[in-house]
């Protein structure tokens, strides 16, 4: 697996790069935002580890421009900012996940494995359906009625889990464990962000609404009368 590591702290870059290579990843390291944008746009990376505080262009802008360029590789933001607004901004710019510094190498590697598993389309049914919504899990493209809806890898994985559990109430902890595959320590804000993304893409402007909140528990997918 090819990893692009974007980190301007030389000692941190060496440390993380060594840990990744020892875990059998091929690593390329760049130290500023402009270089990250150029290398990221060239493609060929299975995963991008992107520091937020970078010279020249910050990680938020790099992430947004990579997504605007059509780069679909999963992006993990490495940030010293743990404020919810900063985390949500990173996700809004197109990041798949975030890791707050300082972090343990074991957690970094676990999140890398989880993100790469989310992009693995081997096995299972490729096309999932409910009502007038279908999802191609191989291409990460949903269709609602006549509308084609491209999804990110994480959005696709979350929607697939909801469809496979259609009609059932899925707890927040179960969704987090399946989609992100590690312990959030009780912080499920990322789930709310991605549920919001899916609602805007597959529910807004369509009837009936398919994603339903079960307060205090989680979510369920289906056609229900929640009045």
Is a pLDDT exceeding 90 seen at residue 223? no
Smallest CA-to-CA distance from 74 within 40, 123, 101 is with 40
pLDDT per residue as tens digits for the range 15-26: 999 999 999 999
pLDDT of residue 120: 61
How deeply is 166 buried, as exposed, middle or buried, from its count of CB atoms within 10 A (0-12, 13-18, 19+)? middle
Average pLDDT over residues 34-38: 95
Average pLDDT, the chain: 87
CA atoms within 13 A on the CB side of 10: 0
pLDDT of residue 188: 63
204 vs 179: which has the higher pLDDT: 204
What values do phi and psi take at 204, rounded to 5? Answer: -65, 125
Distance CA 180, CA 157 (A): 9
pLDDT per residue as tens digits for the range 78-135: 988 777 778 888 888 989 888 888 889 999 998 888 888 776 655 556 889 999 999 9
Is a pLDDT exceeding 90 seen at residue 186? no
Tokens of residue 96, six digits: 């798949």
Q: Reduce the DSSP state of residue 127 to 3 states and report it.
A: strand
Answer whether the bond into residue 27 is a cis peptide, omega within 30°: no
Q: What percent of the chain has pLDDT over 70?
A: 92
Domains of the chain: 2-118 (3.40.50.2300), 127-221 (1.10.10.10)
Tokens of residue 104, six digits: 């343990």
């Amino acid at each position: 697996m090819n990893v692009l590591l974007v980190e301007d702290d030389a000692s941190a870059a060496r440390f993380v790069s060594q840990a990744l290579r020892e875990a059998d990843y091929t690593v390329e390291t760049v130290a500023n935002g402009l270089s990250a944008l150029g290398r990221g746009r060239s493609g060929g990376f299975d995963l991008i580890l992107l520091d937020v505080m970078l010279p020249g262009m910050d990680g938020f802008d790099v992430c947004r421009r990579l997504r605007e360029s059509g780069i679909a590789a999963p992006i993990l933001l490495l940030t010293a900012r743990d404020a919810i607004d900063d985390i949500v901004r990173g996700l809004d710019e197109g990041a798949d996940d975030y890791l707050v510094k300082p972090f343990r190498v074991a957690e970094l590697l676990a999140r890398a494995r989880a993100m790469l598993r989310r992009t693995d389309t081997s096995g299972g049914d490729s096309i999932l359906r409910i009502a007038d919504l279908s999802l191609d899990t191989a291409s990460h493209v949903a269709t609602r009625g006549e509308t084609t809806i491209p999804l990110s890898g994480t959005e696709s994985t979350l929607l697939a889990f909801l469809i496979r559990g259609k009609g059932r109430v899925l707890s927040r902890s179960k969704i987090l464990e399946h989609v992100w595959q590690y312990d959030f320590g009780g912080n499920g804000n990322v789930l709310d962000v991605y549920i919001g993304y899916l609602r805007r893409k597959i529910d807004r402007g369509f009837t009936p609404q398919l994603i339903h909140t079960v307060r205090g528990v989680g979510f369920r997918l289906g056609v229900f009368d929640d009045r």
